Structure 1
Amino acid sequence: MTDSALVIGGTRFIGRHVVEDLLEHGYEVTTFNRGNHGNPFADREAVDRVEGDRRDDTDLRTAKLSVEPDVVVDCVAYYPADVEAAVDVFSDVDGYVYVSSGSAYAAEEVPKREGETELCDCTPERAEDDSMDSYGPRKAEGDRIVARAGGDGVNAMAVRPCVVYGPHDYTERLDYWIDRVLTYDRVVVPGDGQHLWHRAYVEDVAAALRVVAEGGDPGEAYNVGDRRLVTMEEMVDVIAEAAGTGCEVVRASERELSAGGLSTSDFVLYREYPHVLDTNKLAELGWESTPVAEAMARTVAEHRESDRDGAEHDPGREAEERVLGVLDTV
């Protein structure tokens, strides 16, 4: 008998790849969402859809009764109350997996490990706040709910991705850097180029969610990220190699950036302190990550076919040119 899977969300980025991964591994897949975004599976008979609001408990129970899923992947649980409802409604499934985040970690240490690194606190006010300041605390509280549910016999697990990249990324964070490499032969990189912000290829995140649903331990959380980390400068080089183009990386300190009225914080995916997740726990379940060069090649290829350019993250090329002019005179 074929296993069935319910993907809460399933239309935009991570959820879209989760659906594809589950299909590739023989699951009957149903998505559950409000229909606010285009459905990439509208013409795919293999993917069913139940319309509803995941924040409405009645809709959630209706979806459960309609699909009777073996596994549930929850891509859009953004508030602790969402997770509380889900572990109750899906208390008898073979595997419920909550998409958490590396932002759930409070302590700045390298690497961040499940069960060791301190998580963010979440006050009642933060639990209902929708700002990015409360994102990490809300995700951390969801992890704690999953842990308690696991202790109560629910097959609930959490997966904590770091920054996710890959095809169909609506955040356009990496699209900014890809566009820079494709457009200019000199790319300004803030600082010394050696900063580390762990990233996770989206297809690997999708695979991790399935692997954890199938073999994870109830109540546990699993980090997911590329097994090979690259610095910011290496990231630009990998993009250039994937694009088949030449590109000079120009490093600029805070002082040099100020010549263009810029700061290191103006550059997306820059992080002063390294953010690195230990992924050994996930690897022990048999999960593997895609080689970075291969993952980037797929990402660049899809970028070229899209209309995304990361413009919302652009610090301004004219400002960068002023910085380059100053560096050329040094």
Structure 2
Amino acid sequence: MRIAILGGTRFIGRAVVERLTAEGHTLLVVHRGDHEPDGQPGQPGQPGQPGQPGQPGQGGSAAVEHAHLDRHDGAALAAALTPFDPGALVDISGMNAAAADAALGAVGPSVKLIALSSVDAYRAYDGVHSDRTTDSLPLTEESPLRERRFVDGPQYENLEMEERYLPRGATVLRLGAVYGEHDYQKRFEFVLRRVRAGRRRIPVGSGQFLFSRVYVGDVAAAVSKALDGDFPGAFNITEPSTAPYRLFAEQILAAAGAEDTELVRVRDDLLPEDLALTGALTQHLLVDSSKARDVLGWAPADPAATLRTAVRWHLANPPADGSDDFSADDELLGVKTG
């Protein structure tokens, strides 16, 4: 299939491109050119070196082509997509109404649409941010959506994006907390930065917060499944079981070979910012993904194995901006808690 990918070079997009390329699809990756993954097909020096959008790459027929443009520029996007003639469009970077409108205006009604959203669409996500208990669990595709908008900033509103895509018959994938290789949100760093520094004791809070997760490779697998048929509507994409945050921290330590590191219970209100999710939160984000398993036929890989894979990658690729300041930890670990 000829598939246009909007935003295919960072984290989730990178995994989707790798998966669909391995499956033999022909891809046009549309991005600004700010992030060029080393070794990605279609980049200079790789098989399928890019030519002009919609034309074979230099040196032979290309599996992956790249178009560098601002996806919000509807005319430029249409000019890139029209000659490529995609059978499907996968929107990974559509974060608001303007982005969605530009994408939908650039393709015809026969193009299969898949858009990546988030469980932040649910009212429970606002509950987390506003310190309220709003919803019963688990969250399903029928759970109430947020009424308050732009809780994560003026550029980010998945509800706007969904409101454009769903009426067009799109498959919308609502992702849990995505982890894995190349994760720029650094979801494991609350533990791993301390492991790298040889810290033997880590302060944690009550550790009962539930936030359903999913491995980045399993997100790519869900996109692949959605391309296999006609699946209009929203689907939650999360692992079927969720470890509370203290257990999650213990699992990361075990995967890092640091099982003897002690997690020391301290008062939730004293936790450093990067350990806040180990404290008490009033609303959990426990998400049911049975619809995706039943309808799409999607199933995640073994979470224990993917966690180990992700932890190994992050240990080998520490963030350049990682902090070595543990003064807040040291102060807390001197506080008597019982």
Fold match (TM-score > 0.5): yes
Deviations, residues 72-127 of structure 1 (Å, cap 9, x unaligned): 1111111112212323322334421111111111244212211x21222377xx5x
Shift of 1:268: 5.3
Equivalence for 1:299: 310
The 1:308–1:268 alpha-carbon spacing in structure 2 relative to 1, beyond 3 Å, is farther
Match status 1:38 vs 2:36: yes
**Aligned partners of 1:301 and 1:266: how far apart in 2?**
21
Checking the alignment, whether the CA contact within 8 Å between 1:105 and 1:140 is kept in structure 2 is no
Q: What CA distance in whole angstroms lies between the structure 1 residues aligned with 2:110 and 2:188? A: 36
Instruction: Indicate the SS of the match to 1:215.
Output: coil
Structure 1 residue aligned with 2:139: 112
- Counterpart amino acid of residue 320 in structure 1: D
Count of residues paired in the alignment: 304
Q: Which residue of 2 aligns with 1:308?
A: 319
Answer yes or no: is 1:189 the counterpart of 2:189: no
2:290 counterpart letter in structure 1? N
Separation (CA, whole Å) in 2 of partners of 1:35 and 1:176: 30
1:90 touches 1:96 (CA, 8 Å); kept in 2?
no
When normalised by structure 1's length, the TM-score is: 0.84
Structure 2 residue aligned with 1:159: 173
In 1, the alpha carbon distance for the partners of 2:123 and 2:187 equals 23
Summarize deviations over 1:1-20 as a string: whole Å, max 9, x none.
xx122211111111000001
C-alpha distance after superposition, 1:233-292 (max 9, x if no partner) = 11112112212222222222235x3xxxx46x5525457121111101111111111222
Provide the residue aligned with 1:323 in structure 2.
332
Shift of residue 29, structure 1, vs aligned partner: 2.1
Deviates more, 1:8-17 or 1:31-40: 31-40
SS in 2 for 1:283: helix
Q: Identify the match of residue 132 of structure 1 among 143, 148, 152.
A: 152
Letter in 1 for 2:121: A
Higher normalized helix content (fraction of residues)? 1
Structure 1 unaligned spans of 5+: 151-155
TM-fit CA distance, 1:161: 0.6
What is aligned with 1:282? 292
* Identical pairs, percent: 31
* Matches of 1:86 and 1:140, distance apart in 2: 16
One-letter amino acid of the counterpart of residue 226, structure 1? E
**How far apart are 1:134 and its partner, in Å?**
5.0
Q: Tell me the CA shift for residue 44 of structure 1.
A: 3.0
The equivalences for 1:1-330 within 5 A come to 3-40=1-38, 41=40, 42=43, 43-45=45-47, 46-107=63-124, 108-109=134-135, 110-114=137-141, 116-121=142-147, 132-133=152-153, 138-150=157-169, 156-182=170-196, 183-190=198-205, 192-218=206-232, 220-246=233-259, 247-254=261-268, 257=270, 262=271, 266-267=274-275, 269-270=277-278, 272=281, 273-284=283-294, 285-308=296-319, 311=322, 316-327=325-336, 330=338
Structure 2 portions without partners, runs of 5+:
48-62, 125-133
C-alpha RMSD of matched pairs (Å): 2.4
Contact 1:174 1:310 in 2 (8 A): no
Measure the CA separation in 2 of the matches of 1:310 and 1:269: 21
